[in-house]
Amino acid sequence: MAVTVKQMAVTVGFFGVMSFIFGIIAENSKPASGIPVPGKDVVVCKYPSDPSVALGYLSFAFLIVSTVVGFLSLFYPYQGKFLPQAALFRSKSFVVFFNISLLTAGLAAALLLWTTITEQLHRSRNVHYNLETQCPTAKTGLLGGGAFVSLDSSLFWLVALMLADNAREDYFEESDKDVKSSAYEEVHGADYGNVIKGSA
């Protein structure tokens, strides 16, 4: 079955929304801090059991899928027709949204991954020799911010896909016109040659 622009758009949007949802749930489930338990010359931090780390990685994974599909959707040969990249990047609007999509995807990935890894490290390295430690967690708001930027990234990919589809239509319309024009000139030239031969 042939892949269509609409199917690609739905796929990009779906994974972008899923990344957003998992990122928001991860942010809301993350505790503000752990519980310090004093020991002999150490403080052991106990953190409540919550899925924020797993959800953070899921949000990052869905962002990557959305980004990869969004990138591939721009250059995919729909209906078996390959569009030269030069025809796409001729459009200034496409270039702008393509670059914004890449930048927002990179920013979202950095926010989600860095915050999730930081949270995981806090939980695994929970023995502190500083007796005044407050058992910190990853900075509040970064997972949620990454989730919103992830959603923005998928929306920018959709705009870029729409612009690419417009460029595709314009390119193939021009190609069809050129083919018809050259065919007309060949037929007209052949008819003109036959008229000259007949008059001779």
Instruction: Report pLDDT for 12.
Output: 96
Distance from C-alpha of 171 to C-alpha of 78, rounded to nearest angstrom: 13
Q: What is the pLDDT along the chain (200 residues), one digit of tens a residue?
A: 578 889 999 999 999 999 999 999 999 999 888 899 988 889 999 988 889 999 999 999 999 999 999 999 999 888 888 888 888 888 899 999 999 999 999 999 999 999 999 999 999 988 888 888 888 888 999 999 999 999 999 999 999 999 999 888 888 787 656 555 554 555 555 555 555 555 55
Distance between CA 187 and CA 180 in Å, rounded? 11
Cβ-contact 191, 199 below 8 angstroms? no
**Strands 127-128 and 35-38, sheet pairing:** unpaired
Q: What is the dihedral of CA 177, 182, 188, 190, to 10 degrees?
A: -150
Q: What pLDDT does residue 81 have?
A: 84
Q: What is the reported pTM?
A: 0.82
Which pLDDT belongs to residue 2? 76
Q: What is the pLDDT of residue 160?
A: 95
Helix axes 52-75 and 142-199, enclosed angle (nearest 10): 10
Distance (Å, whole) CA 152 – CA 174: 33
